[in-house]
Each structure stands twice: as C-alpha cells, then as structure tokens.
A and B are shown apart, each in its own frame.
Chain A
Amino acid sequence: MREKKLRNIFVNGAIPADTIAESIRKHHTKTDIGAHSIFLGQVRADEIGDQQVAGINYTAYEDLALEKMYEIREAIFAKYPLTCMHIHHSLGMIAAGEICLFVFTSSKHRKAAMEACDELVERIKAELPIWGQEILTDDSHQWKENK
C-alpha cells in the first residue's frame, strides 16, 4: 500500500488571480491533457436587512479537513480518469468580491474534468469541516449556511 500523503489545501487570505494563472501555466508541459475545468468560489455581498456582507471569516478543523479531503481526492481519482486535481480553500477574512475556493481538474477529454470538478465542489461544501462567519458592513456577523 502506498503511503498516505495529506496535501494542504488551506491558504491564508484570498486566492489571488495570479495564483490561478500560474496554476494554469504550470500545466503547459503536460501535453496529454486536453481539458481543464476550473471552479472559483467568490464571496458574495449578500443583502442582510439594511446591511451587506462585507466579507467572510473562514475557520476550519484543519486536521480533520485534510483527512477528509484525502478520502475525497482518492474517491474522485478512482471514479474519473483525471490527469490532475488541485484544490485551494481560504482561511481568515476574505472580502466580498475575492476568491475563497479554487478547484482545478484536468483530463484527456472534457467530461471527466467537468464532472469531477462539479462533484468535488459539492463534496467540499458538504463534507469538509470549514465554517464561514459572514461579517456585515456594521461589523455585526452571522454564521453562513451552505444551501
């Protein structure tokens, strides 16, 4: 049995557009890839009464999240013929308009990359122990709930 390698998915702060561009660029040498699928989660300035969401402060049970992400990663690689998979999730305060989740899948043909990306996003939201506290424009807050 090969060694179980936990990969860190967490980054402090927002995910910069440059990181995403750089990640795409790194795949130019992998010429067996014919399709990439990318999901970007962006913090939305929801209206809450007469306030707006100014940002989301993310916290996580990191050890358990990385264990769970390992299981999800293995399951998705077993289910779809992927060439690679990269996942980044923000921690800390992320302002409205910034990117907090970056999921990137690649495969020979488009269906595998697209379906795997979609399933990853759903599983990340449902299964990873991460919590978002929505900070409103008047500095009050409420706890985010995934729909």
Chain B
Amino acid sequence: MNIKILLFGRLTELLGQNVLHLEDMADTDSLSRFLSVQYPGLAQINYQIAVNQEIIHGNRLLTDGMTVALMPPFSGG
C-alpha cells in the first residue's frame, strides 16, 4: 500500500519536502497523528485535507494509490 502525500505552503518548509510517500496508513486521522509525531511543529498549524482532489471533513479511509494533500490556510490573490 502506498499513499502519496502532497504538501503545500508553510508545510513544505516544516516537512522539508513537497511530496511524501507513506505505507500502511489506514485513514486520514492516523496519517495526521503519524505526521504530528514525526514533525511536532505540525500541531501548531491548521490545515485542510484533500483526498484525491476532494476536500474532506472528518476522517476518511485510505486505500492503495490514494493522494492526500495537506493544505494550510489559503493566501491567493
């Protein structure tokens, strides 16, 4: 199982990369928990999550090949 994680804005700095690949993440809550342990600064940043280009609210089950985007507050315009 492979989950692709896209990072944006200040999260690219905090995690030091634009893309991560993780194995064995059952759902988006586990993914957030896992990353908060790896990158303690993450707990201070609000971010929305999109799964396969759809913004989700609440937890979402993950399956092989899914793409998860972690998006801090938008600042376009």
Chain A residues within CB distance 8 Å of chain B: 41, 58-61, 63-64, 67, 89, 100-101, 121, 124-133, 143-146
CB of B9 closer than 8 Å to a CB of A = yes
Q: Which of B5-64 contact A (CB under 8 A)?
A: 6, 8-10, 50, 53, 55
- For residue B71, which residue of chain A has the nearest CB? A129
Closest chain A CB from B51 CB (angstroms): 11
Q: Kindly list chain A residues whose C-beta atoms are within 8 Å of the C-beta of B74.
A: 125-131, 146
Q: Summarize B's interface: helix, strand, loop or mixed.
A: loop
- The residue from A67, A89, A129, A133 contacting B77, defined by CB atoms under 8 A apart: A89
Per the CB 8 Å criterion, the residue count for chain B at the interface is 15
Chain A CB count within 10 A is highest, among B9, B55, B71, B77, for: B77
Indicate which residue in A63, A101, A132 contacts B53 across the interface (CB closer than 8 Å).
A63
Contact between A61 and B76 (Cβ–Cβ < 8 Å)? Answer: no
Chain B residues with CB under 8 A of A128: 74, 76
Residue pair B9, A89 in contact (C-beta under 8 Å): no
B3 at the interface (CB under 8 A from A): no
- The answer to whether B8 and A146 have CB atoms under 8 Å apart is no
Q: What would 5 A/B residue contacts be, using CB atoms closer than 8 Å?
A: A89-B76, A126-B74, A129-B8, A131-B76, A145-B73
Q: Are A59 and B10 in contact (CB under 8 A)?
A: no
CA of A145 to CA of B10 in the docked complex: distance in angstroms? 11
Bound-state CA distance A13–B72 (Å) is 23
Decide: A64 and B76 in contact? CB cutoff 8 A: no
Assess whether B75 is in contact with A146, with CB atoms less than 8 Å apart.
yes
CB proximity of A91 to chain B, nearest CB, Å: 10
